[in-house]
Structure 1
């Protein structure tokens, strides 16, 4: 598995700063294949698209 913020291997190194950043930012890398995703940020949330694994989104509505 890969870090969806920095794209690094989750088994190697610390990713505490990545987890902290992800509370405010959308993912940038696909956690399954490490490809850089196409990200769109809107006032109502975000969507991130991997060409291999599809779309992930967060509407920001709780």
Structure 2
């Protein structure tokens, strides 16, 4: 009785396609995180360079 309810629940969950969007979003986020970890040093250098430029431009504007 209980086993058949669990089995039918698992079948319904497997056939349900509403969760596919969630799975796709999770996979996309994982890929983005992996890419960010691979290029972490380059991303950090780029952001630091951008902030340095912003700081220099703002100092020039205030002087």
Query: After TM superposition, is the score higher than 0.5?
Result: no
TM-score (norm 1): 0.24
Higher relative contact order (CA 8 A, sep 6+): 1
Which has the larger share of helix? 2
TM-score (norm 2): 0.24
Looking at CA atoms only, which structure, 1 or 2, has the larger radius of gyration? Answer: 2
